Amino acid sequence: MKIAELTQDYEMFCPQSLALFDDPVGLQIGDLNQEVKKVLVTLDIREQVVDEAIKLGVDLIFAKHPVIFSPLSALTTTNPQEHLVWRLARANIAVYTSHTNIDVVAGGLNDDFASLLDLTEVRALDDENQMGRIGEVEPIRLSVLTEKVKAVFGRDRLRVVTYDHTMNQVIRRIAICGGTGGKLWPLAVEKKADLLITGDIYYHTAHDFLSQGLVAIDPGHYIEHLFIPKIAKLLRTYNDKLEVFESQVSTNPFYDI
């Protein structure tokens, strides 16, 4: 099948139009008329992922995070980010990205996260652009919830935003946003969430949370790696002759010890 046919099928579920303004989604490298027999699904496109793609001989990389996020002023081998693009183009490997549109779409990543945490009465945290989710949970101690978050997201360690290190707070309403969702905290407060789960929480922002009575769990941006099996499973339904590989490379830049 052609890349255009594959992406058309995908966009029936997750249209590009759902992406936030100026978010680079869709085909970033390649030709929509290119034939595709092998696809590699990954969260990020880093040097080791390009190595993996070339070794597997794939025609297309399907990624969550764009390989070109800011405009390139040149395409050389001296700049690391440009070099990634240069290597992919030289190897005739196309790149398609599905970033914030897979976060906001019904049945997308944030809905999956809410389901993994057994949230009920789930609705959008940000009504304007449908980012994040908020829902109810059976009353649970923060200390117990942190262990559940570790288990469902495959994390050994978490950062918890709280002044009460006994972690005896009872949580009844949870807001969650994959990736970097710290800017949504005022909405979490407005909608009376007890706790916000998101990645990349800043130090001073964490103080703001606590001043408003909001505790938080930062499991890291990398929980979005659940994109890989989700999208691989979906792509396999489009054509039984399509070989879909799930990247085996960890692109998490943080190592917990």
Residues annotated within the binding site are 65, 103, 221, 224
Q: Which of 47, 45, 48 is nearest to 30 (CA)?
A: 45
In a 3-state reduction of DSSP, which class is residue 186?
A: helix
Report CA 10 to chain centroid distance, whole Å.
17
3-state secondary structure 105-120: CCCCHHHHHHHHCCCE
The binding site for a divalent metal cation comprises 65, 103, 221, 224
Q: What is the identity of the amino acid at 36?
A: V
CB-count burial class (<10 Å; 0-12, 13-18, 19+) for 229: exposed
Q: CB of 152 within 8 A of CB of 181? A: no
Long-range contacts (CB closer than 8 Å, 24 or more residues apart) made by 203-210 = 206/161, 209/161, 209/185, 210/161, 210/162, 210/163
Rounded (10°) CA dihedral 77, 81, 82, 83: 40
**Amino acid identity, residue 223?**
I
